[in-house]
């Protein structure tokens, strides 16, 4: 693919005039640097200084116009990882008049998305931090279409999975190091800077121990739409589309690691699983198959078994109803490392998840002599080494260089087969049939309509309150298995309420209803136990 930015496609003279006259223009979304994405006309990049440049002219603008707060700490995050201090974006300012004294700019005609990849050699990071956020940032801005140009500013080389980034647009992505080939001053005609964080589900433990993000905004639907789009570009058809798969075609996949964190009795494990589930086994590894092949295999699998590790992000290609089995080495508590559990458990992902943990120290092989980043501890003083060697569980810790964590997570494991089978049996028995696993409805009820109350006083200490309402407007277009209503009743001035779940569209309350009292009443509709609708406007009911 050509790296040329065809200058013929734009009128160079007109572009230069526009830059000189209008300077740079910026409008951003987001209140904070952590949720900001900016759109620029004529944002420039000086390859010698390695700085973005904003040219001020009489008609340039900058929104938000933060003044020096632009540096507190930054205008925005250039990667999808929240507030990481190595991933900040900012620009230098110059008057447009300075252009006269600067090298002639090279214009980039494509609509460009400028970002940092976070860790392009690690498959989990590639999907979670880069591919999904890029994919959905492109869907947020309609001019970031298939012709858009991606520019990766983190400064890494292509990395192990560059082909995956290539799938996101028809143009070759550019790396920071390549920009200097184009000249000393590059100006992006139209660009977006930053990434949506809407699709990320995990925080890696930079400020608090790792875990699911506090406010997850993505569901299985968006993950699966992304997966389908990628599979389409890889020319992979899913089994469901191909044919009515026979039961005997079911298989499980063991995704193995061949360099470290090994399953030492993999052959024995596979035999036991074949026996147990009466299914074929397929093994894959990043070292032995290309990624499209792996996706193809996983997209038809009933069960995916793997050691904890980045390769498990590939479970986003599993069919609905499949089971993810994550194996953890000795002394590593599965509850504290849940990127893949969280993924599998996203609503609408429709995957089952089982963690298994090696509880037998003799079944683990550690590597104290290896370099620290592969879990070696030889560099530590004796006392610290002894402490790590005798510890039975890695305590909670921050990312990324905790030696005890690295020591334990890079152990090899002999999987105790009876205990794994036991953990699996409970789940796999209750597994919904793969072929029947259809996406559950996510249509929420509307408000109930025309809510009303009627009251009557029976005696000095006896009263009745009848509440009635009409079905939500959207219900008449839907097939809903179970429709229920929830009514909350609060005596005016009290701070507690009584909730009731009701099957019909009216109900007369007499218990706990007092005469000559005002009650506040809220009503909402619930589909299939979980899909809550909004409350109708509060009713004031005076007995």
Residues at the site binding ligand UDP, with contacts judged by CB under 6 A: 122-124, 257-260, 286, 309-311
Angle, CA of 115, 19 and 40, to the nearest 5°: 30
Task: Find the shortest distance in angstroms from Cβ 411 to ligand UDP.
Answer: 12
Could you tell me which residues come within 8 angstroms of residue 72 by beta carbon, excluding any fewer than 6 positions away? none
SS (H, E, C) 29-68: ECCCHHHCEEEEEEEEEECCCCEEEEEECCCCEEECCCHH
Closer by beta carbon to ligand UDP, 161 or else 524: 161
Closer by beta carbon to ligand UDP, 342 or else 474: 342
Closer by beta carbon to ligand UDP, 213 or else 370: 370
Could you tell me which residues come within 8 angstroms of residue 11 by beta carbon, excluding any fewer than 6 positions away? none
Structure tokens at 252: 């499980």
Task: Find the shortest distance in angstroms from Cβ 257 to ligand UDP.
Answer: 3
The Cα–Cα gap between 178 and 371 comes to 32
Task: Find the shortest distance in angstroms from Cβ 211 to ligand UDP.
Answer: 15
Task: Find the shortest distance in angstroms from Cβ 124 to ligand UDP.
Answer: 5
- E strands within 232-361? 251-255, 280-284, 303-307, 323-328, 352-357
168-199: burial string, b at 16+ Cβ within 10 Å, e else? bbebbbbbbeebeebbbbbbbbbbbbbbbbbb
Neighbours of 59 (CB within 10 A): 10
Closer by beta carbon to ligand UDP, 57 or else 210: 210
The Cα–Cα gap between 465 and 539 comes to 12
Task: Find the shortest distance in angstroms from Cβ 401 to ligand UDP.
Answer: 12
Closer by beta carbon to ligand UDP, 32 or else 259: 259
Closer by beta carbon to ligand UDP, 54 or else 405: 405
Ramachandran category for residue 224: left, alpha or beta (phi over 0 → left; psi -120 to 50 → alpha): alpha
Task: Find the shortest distance in angstroms from Cβ 222 to ligand UDP.
Answer: 23
The Cα–Cα gap between 383 and 380 comes to 8
The Cα–Cα gap between 353 and 341 comes to 6
Q: Between 266-277 and 417-429, two packed helices, what is the crossing angle to 10 degrees?
A: 30
Task: Find the shortest distance in angstroms from Cβ 359 to ligand UDP.
Answer: 21
Closer by beta carbon to ligand UDP, 260 or else 452: 260
Structure tokens at 302: 């009933």
Neighbours of 489 (CB within 10 A): 21
Closer by beta carbon to ligand UDP, 144 or else 262: 262
Task: Find the shortest distance in angstroms from Cβ 226 to ligand UDP.
Answer: 18
Q: What are phi and psi of 35, to 5 degrees?
A: -125, 30
345: exposed, middle or buried (Cβ count in 10 Å: 0-12, 13-18, 19+): middle
Task: Find the shortest distance in angstroms from Cβ 161 to ligand UDP.
Answer: 8
Could you tell me which residues come within 8 angstroms of residue 424 by beta carbon, excluding any fewer than 6 positions away? 276, 323, 325, 354, 356
Strands 25-29 and 61-63 turn out to be parallel
Closer by beta carbon to ligand UDP, 57 or else 315: 315
Neighbours of 438 (CB within 10 A): 10
Task: Find the shortest distance in angstroms from Cβ 264 to ligand UDP.
Answer: 13
Closer by beta carbon to ligand UDP, 5 or else 286: 286
Task: Find the shortest distance in angstroms from Cβ 80 to ligand UDP.
Answer: 16
Could you tell me which residues come within 8 angstroms of residue 266 by beta carbon, excluding any fewer than 6 positions away? 254, 256, 283
Closer by beta carbon to ligand UDP, 135 or else 255: 255
Task: Find the shortest distance in angstroms from Cβ 310 to ligand UDP.
Answer: 4
Closer by beta carbon to ligand UDP, 309 or else 472: 309
Q: Are 349 and 220 in contact (CB under 8 A)?
A: yes
The Cα–Cα gap between 222 and 502 comes to 33
Q: What are phi and psi of 303, to 5 degrees?
A: -140, 140
Task: Find the shortest distance in angstroms from Cβ 70 to ligand UDP.
Answer: 34
Closer by beta carbon to ligand UDP, 20 or else 260: 260
Which DSSP symbol is given to 131? I
| Length reported for the chain | 543
């Amino acid at each position: 693919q050509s790296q040329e930015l065809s200058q013929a496609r734009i009128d160079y003279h007109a572009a230069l005039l526009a830059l000189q006259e209008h300077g740079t223009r910026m409008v951003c979304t987001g209140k904070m640097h952590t949720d900001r994405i900016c759109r620029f006309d004529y944002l420039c990049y000086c390859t010698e200084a390695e700085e973005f440049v904003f040219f001020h002219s009489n008609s340039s603008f900058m929104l938000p116009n933060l003044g020096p707060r632009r540096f507190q700490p930054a205008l925005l995050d250039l990667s999808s990882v929240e507030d990481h201090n190595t991933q900040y974006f900012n620009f230098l300012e110059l008057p447009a008049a300075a252009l006269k004294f600067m090298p002639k700019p090279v214009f980039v005609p494509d609509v460009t998305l400028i970002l940092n990849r976070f860790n392009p050699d690690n498959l989990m990071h590639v999907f979670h931090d880069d591919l999904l956020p890029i994919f959905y940032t492109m869907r947020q801005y309609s001019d970031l279409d298939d012709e858009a140009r991606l520019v990766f500013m983190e400064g890494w080389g292509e990395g192990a999975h560059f082909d995956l980034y290539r799938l996101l647009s028809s143009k070759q992505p550019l790396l920071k190091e390549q920009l200097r080939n184009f000249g000393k001053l590059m100006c992006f005609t139209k660009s977006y800077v930053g990434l949506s964080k809407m699709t990320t589900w995990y925080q890696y433990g930079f400020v608090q121990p790792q875990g699911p993000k506090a406010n997850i905004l993505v569901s299985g639907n968006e993950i699966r739409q992304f997966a389908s789009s990628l599979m389409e570009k890889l020319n992979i058809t899913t089994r469901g589309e191909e044919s009515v798969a026979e039961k005997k075609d079911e298989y499980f996949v063991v995704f193995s690691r061949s360099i470290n964190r090994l399953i030492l009795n993999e052959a024995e494990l596979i035999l036991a699983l074949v026996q147990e589930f009466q299914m074929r086994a397929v093994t894959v590894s990043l070292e032995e198959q290309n990624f499209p092949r792996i996706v193809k295999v996983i997209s038809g699998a009933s069960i995916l078994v793997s050691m904890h590790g980045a390769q498990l992000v590939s479970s986003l290609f599993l069919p609905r109803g499949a089971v993810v089995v994550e194996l953890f080495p000795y002394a590593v508590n599965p509850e504290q490392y849940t990127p893949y559990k969280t993924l599998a458990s996203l609503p609408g992902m429709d995957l089952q998840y089982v963690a298994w943990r090696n509880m037998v120290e003799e079944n683990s092989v550690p590597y104290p002599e290896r370099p620290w980043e592969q879990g070696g501890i030889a560099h530590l003083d004796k006392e610290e080494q002894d402490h790590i060697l005798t510890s039975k569980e890695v305590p909670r810790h921050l990312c990324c260089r905790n030696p005890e964590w690295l020591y334990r997570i890079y152990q090899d494991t002999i999987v105790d087969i009876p205990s794994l089978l036991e953990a699996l049996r409970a789940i796999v028995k209750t597994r919904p049939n793969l072929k029947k696993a259809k996406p559950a409805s996510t249509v929420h009820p509307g408000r109930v309509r025309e809510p009303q109350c009627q009251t009557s006083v029976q005696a000095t200490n006896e009263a009745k309150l009848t509440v009635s309402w009409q079905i939500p407007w959207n219900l008449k277009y839907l097939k809903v298995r179970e429709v229920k209503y929830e009514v909350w009743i609060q005596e005016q001035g009290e701070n507690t309420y009584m909730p009731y779940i009701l099957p019909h569209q009216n109900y007369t309350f007499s218990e706990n209803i007092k005469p000559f009292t005002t009650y506040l009443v809220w009503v909402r509709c619930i589909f299939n136990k979980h899909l809550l609708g909004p409350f109708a406007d509060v009713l004031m009911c005076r007995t």
